Structure 1
């Protein structure tokens, strides 16, 4: 989506913490006080969620054991863009579409063990952690991939004119991060990855997410069939919505990104409304699913670290988040691919590097996908 909106992805977090003191007898605890008892910091990219624990010791250790992490810093070494010195941060969020195991039925492909980054977003958290910008990177973007090393230690040569999502399938998380840093000249301070099956289960644990469609959406490839109107999507339907492309707009990956961004808005509203704070079991179920679903960089590889990270993001509200798509145009040689609009993209990266808002001129006149306003929060 090249037009700006003010909704952003959900990168939640949290962890064990004690509840507040009980109110004096004869006084009812206000909803705001209840929320302080069990904090949830919630953003998704693609639908991407990490929720905190309940505080019980053995439950905490179980959640901690659920987490997988990747040592990005060790894999990439020191030849990287410099870290910002003002407290701002960049987080690369990926939704992976591995075809192995429980994801095979969801991904719709062969169980060949392969994986690609089906969703990619750069989340820039500004100095002070009160606002953020999110830049979606179309998976079909043709880019120059740098040389990178995979988790087995094998080195892969640089490649020109390849799809962006091939970086992940070639060398995993480290290669994806290195590719994004080479495109943007921005240091990725953190990495978060969520898989298909986990996303579906998270939505089911939430009790579904309500959305409204302005037209019918039908896509056999993503197993989605919705009539125009309001729907409460279960996990399977939500996954179909964020993965569909042929049933909306111009059938491109850009249209899919627009649906993903609209779903994020609806998901945030759902997390706020659902009775998590009055149901410790429901909260734990969400935390258990989320920590099994997510892979992080090693700096976030424990529930305590995730809790601390998420706590620092609590001040960011949806109205203080801007979402755009990396400026691209369709490839004249292949309508299924897009090319980076270098001058406009450079405006985006320079703005984020300087910790400034993304200028509207950076996204004006770029390819959109023509799926704006098809989906909204219920």
Structure 2
């Protein structure tokens, strides 16, 4: 069974299975990482009778072993920080979305900070095109990866896998990540379809040939394919930047969480099993969450957080004067964001006041 410390931080039991570190599973889409956890939250203790079936679905990565001790302090103050990461790989079952070019990269990244008491969360999206100073790290196969200045944020996953992505986020924020979760494209679609779709409202038309999405203004129930198209849409919303896509993703994430809480899986065992099966196949967690028992304890700790209690922002950035297709962190404002989370406080409105937005706010509600 899982156990919870007096301060509220949730850890897996020491007797849980531990898998050897494995090569990175590409084809991830991070926007559903928290959503997959939300499905497990709704299941609660009802997952007990299907442990054996669901345990077999879970693969994990041992982030702690790869990163070693060169990390920020593990401050156990009752809060929790989770890196939810995705990849833009186009291999295997995801061939329909294009060809791999240059290897897997993190398509989306969110730092989910669960505040003390686990009743509310602050979510910080990190634009994939953000230019950062990437630290040296150890890659998936144990080889060293050199540091690089002015590297795109999403190259951390490309060159070093999950551990390098975690180390990059920790270097940017000064905050130790307690957990790591990935979700793949195929798992994303199946999870939405098992859920029965997600209802969203658009305030402007969205037509994107690349993501195969064509939505008129109004209320829609999106199936898995349409949902994937929405969270990948970029050129057809706002100013066509990744910042606009992030706003769509954040709006969709809130709608997804609300949908999960409204499906009534506690009274429908088959629905619960189907959703849990899809969720555990979709996610790749860190090795402290590599069994259903451990995922249950983790998910129960998040059960008090609803869409209305999740404050979502984008890391404050500005367009790079040298390349308008890239963005740079606004140093003072970004420091405000990370300092707030490090001290378990709400992110102040001043932190994002003058940041670039992508001009897609309000397109999806």
TM range (shorter): 0.7 to 0.9
1:271 deviates by 1.4
What SS is found at the alignment partner of 1:337?
strand
**Match of residue 19 from structure 2:** none
Give the equivalent residue in structure 1 for 2:80: 89
Structure 1 unaligned spans of 5+:
1-43
Which residue of 1 is the match for residue 229 of structure 2?
Answer: 240
1:62 to 23, 44, 53: 53
Equivalent pair of 1:100/1:114 in contact (CA under 8 Å): no
| RMSD value, Cα | 1.6
Deviation at 1:235, TM superposition (A): 0.4
1:128 aligns with 2:113: no
Aligned twin of 1:196: 185
- Which of 40, 43, 46 aligns to 2:31? It is 46
Q: Secondary structure at the match of 1:118?
A: coil
Count of aligned positions: 330
- The Cα shift of 1:60 comes to 1.4
Find the residue that maps to 1:336 and give its secondary structure: strand
Instruction: Please name the residue that 1:278 is paired with.
Output: 267
Q: 1-side partners of 2:56 and 2:102: how far apart?
A: 24
1:264 aligns with 2:249: no
Q: Aligned to 2:276, what secondary structure does the other structure show?
A: helix
Post-superposition offset of 1:183: 0.6
Contact map agreement 1:99 1:113 (CA 8 A) in 2: no
User: For 1:210 and 1:116, how far apart are their aligned partners in 2?
Assistant: 29
Q: Is contact 1:100-1:113 (8 Å) kept?
A: no
2:62 maps to 71
Q: Of 239, 243, 249, which aligns to 1:254?
A: 243
Structure 1 ranges of 4+ moved more than 6 A = none
The answer to whether the 8 Å contact 1:47/1:263 transfers is: no
Equivalent of 2:293 in 290, 300, 304: 304
How far is 1:180 from its partner?
0.3
SS across alignment from 2:56: helix
Is the 1:142–1:161 Cα contact (8 Å) retained in structure 2?
yes
Partner Cα separation in structure 1 for residue 184 and residue 255 of structure 2: 20
Report the CA distance between 1:96 and its aligned residue.
Answer: 2.1
Deviation for aligned residue 1:141: 0.4
- Residue aligned with 2:32, SS: coil
1:113 Cα offset (Å): 8.7
Q: Choose the corresponding residue for 1:164, options 142, 145, 153.
A: 153
Contact 1:108–1:221, Cα closer than 8 Å, also in 2: no
Alignment of 1:214-363 (within 5 A): 214-363=203-352
Measured after TM superposition, the shift of residue 45 of structure 1 is: 5.8
- Whether 1:211 aligns to 2:200 is yes
TM-score scaled by length of structure 1: 0.84
Structure having the higher Rg = 1
Partners of 1:55 and 1:242 in 2: CA distance: 29
CA contact (8 A) 2:55 2:291 kept: yes
2:93: which partner in 1? Answer: 102
